[in-house]
Structure 1
Amino acid sequence: MKKIALFFVLFAALSCGNGAIEKPENLLSEEMMVDILYDLTVLQSAENLNPVEFSQNNVKVNEMIYKKYNIDSISFAQSNRYYAADPHHYQKMFKKVVEKIEANKKGLDEQTVKETGKELAPTYTPAIQ
């Protein structure tokens, strides 16, 4: 997840130097971008945990995202660049991604407790600030 955050921070920083970014014709909605960024974060984290499994099963994270949201790489790249041009707004979008991750984790923790009857050990998971 650190690599993903670093990528988006660098992307945002580089985008800021280009002046105002023109709104693309095929701009993805902010809500869809948050969903895409969430899915990318989860899938890329899973891939980092078990790259052999992803490779053996020929899983292509980006292709999965494009298919799920019925978009192409250009639409995503242009929309991502547009949103990243405003770092404060982009940070708010990532805060929504982190909130979704934390909500999912909480739900999974509760489900595990119901199924096993055991509390999970607390973990420290730093969030993107």
Structure 2
Amino acid sequence: MNRFLVILTVLILMSCKNSTTKPTPFIEQKKMEDILYDMAVLYSIESVSAYSREDTLKKINVSAIYKKYDIDSLTFVSNNRYYVELGDGVYNKMQNNILARLEAAKVIADSLYNKFEANKEDQKAIEDALPQLEAEKTDSVQIQKK
């Protein structure tokens, strides 16, 4: 009886293991990371209401990402599920790579923003000083005429 229970338990445990099969069509890991990165950027844009000027900006949506990578939503979902179920921390590593890319992009965006703000301050200083420079130029021309 004990042997029967042990064999039955082993069979049940073996049958519970969920085998992951590659979906068709299969998306390679690097391409899947790129897709997930683009989606993270898209959702970030939407969350900060970057589309407040809809008259001049073309609104990007998920279907544009699918079109960019020549996939459909079912292909994305089945491949995403595959990578989640794959185990060995593969999906976690992918998410960490995406996070690192987002952090690098944030550093670049922040430095560009800081340069823009500094340029705006320089431009404002020039605009503020322009009337005084014009007045000095006029005074200098009048002195030279005398």
TM-score (normalised: structure 2): 0.59
Q: Give the corresponding residue for 1:82.
A: 82
Q: Give the corresponding residue for 2:62.
A: 62
RMSD: 3.0
Structure 1 residue ranges without an equivalent (≥5): 1-16, 119-129
Q: Rate the CA distance shift 1:59–1:103 in 2: closer, same or farther, 3 A.
A: same
Q: Deviations over 1:94-123 (max 9, x none)?
A: 0011011001011111222333339xxxxx
Taking only the aligned residue pairs, the percentage that are identical comes to 32
Q: Deviations over 1:11-34 (max 9, x none)?
A: xxxxxx871221113111111111
Structure 2 residue ranges without an equivalent (≥5): 1-15, 120-146
Structure of higher CA gyration radius: 2
Q: Deviations over 1:63-87 (max 9, x none)?
A: 1111111111121111111101135
Query: Aligned ranges for residues 96-111 of structure 1 at < 5 Å?
Result: 96-111=97-112
| 8 A Cα contact 2:20 2:86, kept in partner | no
Q: Give the corresponding residue for 1:92.
A: 93
Q: Give the corresponding residue for 1:40.
A: 39
Hey, which of these two has a bigger chunk of helix by percent? 2
Structure with greater contact order relative to length (CA < 8 Å, sep ≥ 6): 1
| 8 A Cα contact 1:47 1:54, kept in partner | no
Query: How many positions carry a matched residue from both structures?
Result: 102
Q: What SS is found at the alignment partner of 2:94?
A: helix
Deviation for aligned residue 1:38: 0.8
After the TM superposition, which of the residue ranges 52-61 and 102-111 deviates more from structure 2? 52-61
| 8 A Cα contact 1:40 1:65, kept in partner | yes
